Amino acid sequence: MPFKQLSVAVFVCGTLDIAYAILTVMLKGGTAAMVLRGVASGPFGEAANGWGAGGAILGLAVHFAIMTVMVAAYFLLVTHTKLGAVSPWLAGAGYGLALYVFMYFVVLPLRWPTIHPQTDAIKIAMSLFPHIVLVGIPLALIASHSVATLAKLSR
């Protein structure tokens, strides 16, 4: 697995995704720190909300750790299945949709069962957008470049 492209994909997709989350919360009067502590509260519980800047830093680390898993899984799929032959636009949209389904119907309901899964159409659309447009598609485009480079090197 090409480490450089994987790292680029984690950085790009992770940054786009967290920036979107922060921006949407700030438009509602919240703060970046609230978003990041909210991410940290996933694995570390509500105590993370009382950890101030430490909770925010931990949230950023958790976010990028999750993104690393998402990116690595895609790179494995694209190099070990026929997914690499699919248009990156289509593969990325499909992977983004799969990430949304997994996150919103498995992961989040396990942690916050009273508020997930969402049923409000606007909230669903606002959650689908970053998974497909800011994570899935950029990831697939970066990975397709990586796979093409590896194919050229192996000739």
Dihedral of the CA atoms 47, 62, 130, 108 (nearest 10)? -50
Q: Which helix (H) or strand (E) holds 125?
A: helix 121-129
Burial tier of 103 (Cβ tally within 10 Å: 0-12, 13-18, 19+): middle
Q: What angle do helix axes 137-153 and 88-102 make, rounded to 10 degrees?
A: 130
Q: What was the pLDDT predicted at 153?
A: 47
Question: Which residues make Cβ contacts (< 8 Å) with residue 143, sequence separation at least 6?
Answer: 5, 9, 74, 75, 78, 84, 88
The number of distinct structural domains making up the chain is 1
Six token digits for residue 53? 């800047």
Q: Does pTM top 0.85 for this prediction?
A: yes
d(CA 21, CA 89): 23
Q: What was the pLDDT predicted at 104?
A: 87
d(CA 19, CA 134): 10
| Residue range of the domain that includes 13 | 3-153
Q: What was the pLDDT predicted at 73?
A: 96
Residue 89 contacts residue 137 (beta carbons within 8 Å): yes
d(CA 59, CA 77): 27
Q: What is the mean pLDDT of each run of 10 residues along the chain (155 residues)?
A: 88 97 96 92 78 87 96 93 91 96 87 76 90 97 76 49
